[in-house]
Structure 1
Amino acid sequence: MVQFSVIVPTYNRLSYLKHCLESIAAQTCAPFEIIVVDDGSTDGTVEWLQNTHPEIRAIRQQNAGPGAARNRGAAEASGDYLAFLDSDDLWPPWALSTYRDLLKRYDRPSLLFARYRDFAELPDFGLLEAATAEVYANFAASHKVAAFAGGGMMVARRDAFVYAEGFPEDRLNGEDHDLALQLSDAPGFVRVVSPVTVAHRVHSGNEMGDVEKTVLGVIRLVEREEAGAYPGGRSLASARREIISRHARPAILEAAKTGHSTAAGDLYQRTLSWHLAKGRYKFLAAAGFSLAIRKLRMSDSG
């Protein structure tokens, strides 16, 4: 039996939260418990929850960021799996049943990434398909594929989450990548291939829209890797660095394009040897050229 503790962090998104909770209530596999962590909202979120959803455990804390909110929910959870969902996103009715079936099929892995689809107005879940997945010995073993999921698209076995010490709480982006890397050697990683299990809402308030926070978040991953903070030691170093480099490349290019040259240049230099080791010469040339052009334009404008 799989018991899901559903954890929803929220901050001033009451209108979105209502739809999010409706999607949880519509699950064909009922969750063991639902925990909503209000991260210092001023829009009446907790009061609304207490008045309309007494069955949901509502926790209020001072604003500390999404990582801290997820950690707070995890600390209060008692299910054997933690299913994270952001308050502006939605689940199709089959999300938890898909997770349950895959977790049972693959011997209760430590970490699962959802299959997500972006939406802006109306969610498109597509058709319900048979549950299929890519399966790896651990997260590090997936280094050759572009395995990505935001913090609200992850399912983690609770004991593995405790072992990883949760999400970082420094308010930078990439806290989801850090958690996955903390579980580099934890047994069992599953990446959902079908069906779609999360509808990810794209809007102006998405944290990933902050380019500088994204670059600084990737730099944090690099620093933690260089400091030996991730498990697996030297035997998994190449795999971990390939995973981090895959996040670094789009961050560098986007930062250079949007004028965050200092941060982009710093990340470029910090990962230069990693990219050279993997033969990423086209990327290094393109990124170097973009940074040089930006520097020339800034010099001319000054």
Structure 2
Amino acid sequence: MTHNRCAEVVRTLDHMTGLPERPPIIAVDNGSADGTADRIAARFPQVRLLRSETNLGAVARNRAVRHAGTRYVSFCDDDTRWQPGALDRAADLLDRHPDIAAVMGRCLVEPDLTEDPLTPELRHSPVPAPAWLPGPALMSVMAGLTTIRVSAFEQAGGFSPRLWLGGEEELLALDLVSRGWWLCWVPDVVIHHAPSRDRDARQRRRLGIRNALWTTWLRRPASSCLRRTAAVLSSAPKDRHTARALAAALRELPWVLRERRVVPPETERRLRLLEEPQRHSTARRYVG
């Protein structure tokens, strides 16, 4: 999915259409005003283009999945590029392990191809995993680095339109895990990320904080809600952007309370194991 990043999505599609796996590709243009959709249509006739009049955020992925017609879908942002062999490897693992809903790959950040700062937390995940799982067990994923089982994705309802974008994966992941699915990180599924400079860091922070609070309030028991809310807010700068995020979250409290469904005890137990690593994480701080 892409929005007003014509040069970046063209670079990504140049790479993705040249992969040896020759995957079928769906591009969703989220209401771009810079000619992105027309450029994709002209340059990549082999890519199925879905045009949206508005910016759907992460819901663009839901729309793409409905059109895919495949058992698995690998999500790709306009600044992430799956490396040769990664798609086949992820699909093979899902073939081999029917209880896995999603395989998240290892992210190397361009230009130096250093590991994403979140990688140590994934590699050393404290979540207990069965011996057969091909990598550390996770409680959330980063969508642009993930191959997902379509049946599991549909069972969990896809990405929430309410959350729109910014940490939207966590709610979906909790709903998958609560249904008995496994999520795992696999280091030999490799994706390169060239972080876009065309982003509003403060808006992303506001959305990230709001969505982290909503996810917590929607799925965690009361005591965990209080603890996690304090942790999220303490990790953010004490400024008007954080205040706006909190206000936006509180405005929708009636909806949150109506839709609240606490996760099963085993899911909550795994989430608690992540609280200490998250408290000391430098990769998860809202500092933009």
Shared topology, TM-score over 0.5?
A: yes
User: Partners of 2:104 and 2:84 in 1: how far apart?
Assistant: 17
Unpaired runs of 5+ in structure 1? 1-8, 127-131, 227-236, 285-302
Deviation at 1:98, TM superposition (A): 2.0
Q: 1:265 to 1:51 in 2, by over 3 A?
A: closer
1:106 aligns to what?
A: 97
Q: What is the RMSD computed on CA atoms of the aligned residues?
A: 4.0
Matched AA of 2:68: A
1:105-150 deviations in Å (ceiling 9; x for gaps): 334622222221233xx26289xxxxx999946xxx9xx9765532
Which aligned pairs between 1:212-223 and structure 2 lie closer than 5 A? Answer: 212-223=206-217
Q: Tell me the TM-score normalised to structure 1 length.
A: 0.66
Unpaired runs of 5+ in structure 2? 116-122, 254-267, 280-288
User: Partners of 2:65 and 2:175 in 1: how far apart?
Assistant: 16
Residue 255 of structure 1 is aligned with which of 217, 233, 236?
Answer: 236
1:207-258 deviations in Å (ceiling 9; x for gaps): 76522211101111022115xxxxxxxxxx69xx69x94x974x42442355
Deviation at 1:78, TM superposition (A): 0.3
Q: 1:248 to 1:28 in 2, by over 3 A?
A: farther
Residue 202 of structure 1 is aligned with which of 195, 208, 229?
Answer: 195
1:197 aligns to what SS in structure 2?
A: strand
Q: 1:86 to 1:265 in 2, by over 3 A?
A: closer
1:54-111 deviations in Å (ceiling 9; x for gaps): 1111010122332121111112110000110001211211221221232233346222
User: Aligned pairs, how many?
Assistant: 241
Matched AA of 2:236: A
Matched AA of 1:168: S
Which aligned pairs between 1:32-47 and structure 2 lie closer than 5 A? Answer: 33-47=24-38
2:236 aligns to what SS in structure 1?
A: helix
Q: 1:278 to 1:125 in 2, by over 3 A?
A: closer
1:17 aligns to what?
A: 9
- Is the CA contact 1:27–1:96 (under 8 Å) kept in the aligned structure 2? no
1:291 aligns to what?
A: none
User: Partners of 2:96 and 2:17 in 1: how far apart?
Assistant: 25
User: Partners of 2:10 and 2:47 in 1: how far apart?
Assistant: 12
Deviation at 1:262, TM superposition (A): 3.6
- Is the CA contact 2:107–2:145 (under 8 Å) kept in the aligned structure 1? yes
User: Structure 1 residues 258-267 or 206-215, which shifts more?
Assistant: 258-267
Which aligned pairs between 1:162-173 and structure 2 lie closer than 5 A? Answer: 162-170=154-162, 171-173=164-166
User: Structure 1 residues 144-153 or 164-173, which shifts more?
Assistant: 144-153
Q: Tell me the TM-score normalised to structure 2 length.
A: 0.69
